Amino acid sequence: MKISNPAEHPVSLGGVASGKIPFVTVIINDEEMLQKAKEVEITFEDGAIIKERISGKGTIVLYENKLNNEPMSYRKLIIYGKDMTKLYEK
């Protein structure tokens, strides 16, 4: 198992873009960011925006692709702090 350097990779992303329910996994590696993080916002390719609260070291963001079974990856990710300021954006 490889451990990421939080300075180089403060946030690890994964997930699956295909199927009826694509998802994105968000893991916060940076302890300072983790202490401040409250919510993650994912914008998918079709423009849908899904928000989830951060629990533990991160969260899984599910998106039900109701239109078809085409792959649906994310376009944008934002992590907000407890005061709703942007802590991270990719």
pLDDT of residue 2: 43
DSSP 30: -
pTM of the model: 0.80
DSSP 70: S
Tens-place pLDDT, residues 45-84: 888 899 999 988 888 888 777 766 677 788 899 999 999 9
Question: Measuring CA to CA, how many Å separate 89 from each of 20, 21, 30, 71, 84?
Answer: 26, 23, 14, 22, 13
Closest by CA to 78, choosing from 39, 21, 20, is: 39
Closest by CA to 40, choosing from 11, 5, 9, 8, is: 11
